[in-house]
Amino acid sequence: MLKKMEILDVDKVIEEFEAMTKDAENVQRETLKKILEENGCSEYLQNLGLNGRTDPESFKACVPLVTHKDLEPYIQRIADGASSSILTGKPITTISLSSGTTQGKPKFVPFNDELMETTLQIYRTSYAFRNREFPIENGKALQFIYSSKQSETKGGLIAGTATTNVFRNSQFKNAMIAMQSQCCSPDEVIFGPDFHQSLYCHLLCGLIFREEIQLVSSTFAHGIVHAFRTFEQVWEELCADIREGVLTSRISFPSYRSAMAKLLKPNPELADLIHKKCSELSNWYGLIPELFPNVKYMYGIMTGSMEPYLKKLRHYARDLPLISADYGSSEGWIGANINPTLPPESATYAVLPNIGYFEFIPLKENAEEHVEVKVNDSFLSMEPKPVGLTEVKVGEEYEIIITSFAGLYRYRLGDVVKVTGFHNSSPELKFVCRRNLILTINIDKNTEKDLQLAVEQAAKLNAEEKLEVLDFSSHVDLSTDPGHYVIFWEINGEVGDEVLKECCNCLDRSFVDAGYVSSRKVNAIGPLELRVVRRGTFQKILDHYLGLGAALSQFKTPRCVGPTNNKVLQILCENVTKSYFSTAF
Ligand code: AMP
């Protein structure tokens, strides 16, 4: 009876979601009202002259669009322990560290109970839709989740990555049990002090509970690929541990050792079975369904900067469905994946109209130049005009702006999304890319998506040689005249110079942006350079970010390394083994 009560009522969740999305405009109005009523007394809102008004029109008239930089001084005061209500009515007690892969350093953002509640609502919603298509029984999940170090800010607030704040919240575990997706690893593994050791123990737990595993997941798809690449290195050691019932001495922290001792028993049959299965695989194809015979699907964020990992993920997963997890950020959640049967390349996210107040800056109108108006003989750039959640148009691209229950008002998240349709009256969004251009020298404009497409194109030449681009990044090198694009590749195995030269030319040709092509033709941008880096270079980059307090759970490989990100650039440059210049133009 108790068990039954714990399980989530998915029909009810879907019913509530349907009702809410049918009335998205009103729900948005009500949500804004609630946010402003709860937080209107904060110093930030008080100074903007809303005077108790909570309607969207007054809100937009009084509150400016902001970026993280604008709010930094306020958030810093909160972190330093100012006791007054600065951004929210109720004081903030926890700070999230966003992954900061774009800027090179983690950003502070406020975290509170309301944000936790919206996180759970998103999880429940996508689970309800997912479970209709891919029901899971009462089993376990192999979740590659990790906690970052939690620290205290100067003012005594707890600071950790958003995922850490979520995983550490007592409601998280209950929610996972209700969704029949409880992590197979004990807390000591999730919250252990060393992520290499945590990962090893996660793999071991997965093998011990192999028959019960219903899904394999991580926050971002990179986490799953990274885990099974590690498995390729340590599988024999894992088998030995299972055979003897003793954890390898490499796992040194007592917390892991005592937690794993409770699970490990000598099991030579299981060790033999896993050994046999691994030995029989060809290049690890289909590893996941072989190891976990009852797994139903793979789950994690698979869109945006995670797309380059899909190929490898499919290789490990064979015919298992890959389902992209939801869309959000440390700043707040946006939408849930309610079409789990779509492949990740087409995944969209339906916005939940009660988890925040959303606005959208149309990019077509504003993408190139902002509208300029003449005031007192000088030209001023007009602020782009955002539209409301239900006013967006199918097929158009927008920059998303969020107003959250955690003290962010009209906050430019920096993401570009495309509206692909509506679910009732709430839009479904496809993630396009981060708005900031990553590669630009003069009139050329290339985003992370453009880089990804170019790398995919060039990697096809590699694929013919059965070689794989394990990871990649880029950099604008202005030390040469003219400046040029540098693409860093870590590849699997040895590739001949001829192939890599061709890959380099292909990369150069694959940036089809008119500004780039014309600049290349007149040599206003120099020949693209492909630099091959040593195996393990991207692992060093990951370690560098973890050292800064990032968590593996939230890690996104920096796809472009700017001049302020010295350390990562240094890691890349120190590990270059070969370099090629394009002769494509
Ligand atoms: P973080 O800074 O670690 O909180 O990461 C948040 C960022 O990750 C978002 O602003 C997006 O750029 C990206 N992101 C989160 N969810 C998704 C998703 N489902 N698809 C693509 N990118 C995502």
- pLDDT string in tens for the chain (585-residue length): 345 557 899 999 999 999 999 999 999 999 999 999 999 999 999 999 999 999 999 999 999 999 999 999 999 999 998 878 999 999 898 999 886 665 556 789 999 999 999 999 999 999 999 999 999 988 899 999 988 777 888 899 988 888 888 988 889 989 999 998 999 999 999 999 998 999 999 999 999 999 999 999 999 999 999 999 999 999 999 999 999 999 999 999 999 999 999 999 999 999 999 999 999 999 999 999 999 999 999 999 999 989 989 999 999 999 999 999 999 999 999 999 999 999 999 999 999 999 999 999 999 754 444 444 444 444 445 656 899 999 999 999 999 999 999 999 999 999 999 999 999 999 999 999 888 777 989 888 898 889 999 999 998 887 777 778 999 999 999 999 899 999 999 998 788 899 999 999 999 999 999 889 988 998 889 999 999 999 999 999 999 988 877 777 778 888 999 888 889 999 999 999 999 999 999
Nearest CA to ligand 1 atom 20: 303
CA torsion, ordered 203, 209, 215, 216, to nearest 10 deg: 0
Task: Collect contacts of 277-285 with beta carbons under 8 A, ≥24 apart.
Answer: 278/235, 278/239, 283/315, 284/228, 284/232, 284/315, 284/316, 285/315, 285/316, 285/318
Would the CB of 122 count as within 6 Å of ligand 1? Answer: no
Residue 453 in tokens: 């497409």
In the block, which residue shows the tokens 């998280």? 172
Three-state SS at 252: coil
Whole-model pTM over 0.85: yes
Please state, in angstroms and rounded to a whole number, the distance separating the CA atoms of residues 477 and 560: 11
Nearest CA to ligand 1 atom 9: 329
Q: Phi first, then psi: what are they for 468, rounded to 5°?
A: -130, 140
Would the CB of 552 count as within 6 Å of ligand 1? Answer: no
Site to substitute for ligand 1 among 109, 125, 301, most atoms within 8 A of C-beta: 301
Q: Phi first, then psi: what are they for 461, rounded to 5°?
A: -65, -35
Would the CB of 575 count as within 6 Å of ligand 1? Answer: no
Ligand 1 atom closest to 331 (CA): 4
Nearest CA to ligand 1 atom 5: 329
Would the CB of 417 count as within 6 Å of ligand 1? Answer: no
Would the CB of 554 count as within 6 Å of ligand 1? Answer: yes
Would the CB of 197 count as within 6 Å of ligand 1? Answer: no
Would the CB of 163 count as within 6 Å of ligand 1? Answer: no
Cβ pair 540, 575 in contact under 8 A = yes
Residue 142 is given by DSSP the state E
Q: List, in order, residues 6 or more apart from 10 with CB less than 8 Å away.
A: 127, 128, 131, 132
Query: Beta-carbon neighbour count of residue 44 at 10 Å?
Result: 18
Pairing state of beta strands 411-423 and 426-434? antiparallel
**Distance between Cα 243 and ligand 1 center (Å):** 41
